[in-house]
Amino acid sequence: MIAQQAERMQHAVSLFLDVARLETGTIELEVEPLSLQGIMRTEIAALCQRYTSVTVTQVYPEDSAIVESDEQRLRQVIGNLLDNAAKYADPAQPAITVTLARAADGGVEVRVRDNGAGIRPDVEPYIFQRFYRSEQPKARGEGLGLGLYISRRIARHLGAELSFTPNPGSGAEFSLRLPPTVPAVQPIGLAASTDVPGG
């Protein structure tokens, strides 16, 4: 129990440090060519160790999907999306579908869909806000309500865009659209701290 609490505290501290770095524009990137298939498989394997009852279906292109990005930050965003999907999937038979699709500009779109209740229209404006946690349905595990907020801010820092399709009653889908390479300059500041979908 002590080890678990220490791990949770360390994770919480790491999240708050990320928020501070994002809002002050001090996150540094190490851009390199990355195989999305490899990153997805590693993150999915880690997810399945945490949530042993979750079934994950993977739909990838036949050839390797390569983008230039920061591996650590990209893993952080993808891990958050997978973890969020697992928490809000159907409690009886939790399932996630992960799809990689090529974009017209040479980039790649990562889509993560759960089979839960989806997102009600009245909570859509709050999904990417700090400290917001949906209560529909009750999520597995605990959280600070920072995962999606941080993920969207990091995505924008990478020149990417994170959005969602609510699908009430049939499972929410989050989409991360990655450019083929990270643009030279990505503005990050306090103005985006009240992110709303499409904002």
Query: Residue 198 domain-assigned?
Result: no
CATH number at residue 107: 3.30.565.10
Within-domain flag for 45: yes
Please tell me the predicted confidence (pLDDT) of residue 185: 47
Identify whether 129 is part of a domain.
yes
String of b and e for 5-33 (b: at least 16 CB within 10 Å)?
eeeeeeeeeebeebbebbbeeebebeeee
Is residue 182, in this structure, part of any structural domain at all?
yes
pLDDT in the model for residue 64: 87
The label of the residue with tokens 């499972």 reads 171
pLDDT of the residue at 129 = 86
Residue-range definition of the domain harbouring residue 84? 2-192
Asked whether residue 197 is assigned to any structural domain, the reply reads no
Total tally of structural domains belonging to the chain? 1
pLDDT tens digit at each of 199 positions of the chain: 565 445 555 545 565 455 555 565 657 788 999 999 999 999 999 999 999 999 999 999 988 899 999 898 899 999 999 999 999 999 999 999 999 999 888 899 999 999 999 999 999 999 998 766 666 544 555 555 678 988 998 898 889 999 999 999 899 999 999 999 887 644 444 334 445 443 3
Please give the DSSP secondary-structure letter assigned to residue 122: G
Residue 153 lies in a domain: yes
Q: Characterize the bridge pairing of strands 161-165 and 55-59.
A: unpaired
Position of tokens 């399709």? Answer: 165
Domain annotation covers residue 86? yes
Decide: pTM greater than 0.85.
no
Tokens of 67: 């983008």
199 occurs within a structural domain = no
Q: How many residues does the chain have?
A: 199
